[in-house]
Amino acid sequence: MVISKADLDISTIRSYLTGDKRAFDDLVERYEKFVYNLAYRMTGNNTDAAGLTQEIFIHLHKKLASFREESAFSTWLYRLAVNYSKDWLKKESHRVEITDIDEAILPDGGMLPGQVCEQKEIQGLVQAAILTLSKDQRIIVILHDLYGYSYDEIVDITGSPIGTVKSRLARARLKLAEKLAPYGNGLEK
């Protein structure tokens, strides 16, 4: 008999709620990578990503008893993580928006548009460009272009109407296209 991931999650959560604390570690094992990567892409640095990841799991720990099994746990957790990340970024002290991609890149590497970039440098450029997006655009780009979630899945996770998801993605991609165009040749290397 094959147990689906969703069934496994439900079973794990029930174990945890009946007193098996180790079951929470199983949830951490399954979802820490998603949450950490989301946190990193939203904040752009290790320190904030580490802090945000821990806060999300602490929040999950508090809220787990309220999971009603009405949707897949993964969708519920992603929604919780996305909403928590947005609230976290709203706080004045956590603002990480960068107004100009060049500000984020040039001081360190002295990289100029058109210069052939190494893969690691490209990743830094792309991360900096993502940080120039609004929080909502950032989330859609991360979920769709980085994680590969469909429009419908993103609707479930974010709670936004499909038209909003599409338009945010379109605006985000247009902005990224302009920001990254001078550096795009690095990919062809």
- Binding residues for another protein, rule: CB under 8 A, are 16, 21-25, 28, 32-33, 36-37, 40-41, 46-47, 50-51, 53-55, 57-58, 61, 88, 91-94, 119, 122-123, 125-127, 129-130, 141, 145-146, 151, 166-167, 169-170, 173-174, 176-181, 183-184, 187
Q: Cβ of residue 130: shortest distance to another protein, in angstroms? A: 7
Closer residue to another protein (CB): 2 or 120: 120
Q: Contact at 8 Å (CB) between 116 and 174?
A: no
Rounded CA gap, 185 and 177, in Å?
A: 13
Q: Cβ of residue 19: shortest distance to another protein, in angstroms? A: 11
Closer residue to another protein (CB): 1 or 19: 19
Rounded CA gap, 182 and 111, in Å?
A: 11
Closer residue to another protein (CB): 112 or 174: 174
Q: Which of 96, 142, 124 is nearest to 183 (CA)?
A: 124
Locate 161 and state its tokens.
Answer: 């109407």
| CB contact set of 43 (below 8 Å; sequence gap of 6+) | 49, 52, 89, 94, 96
Q: Cβ of residue 75: shortest distance to another protein, in angstroms? A: 19
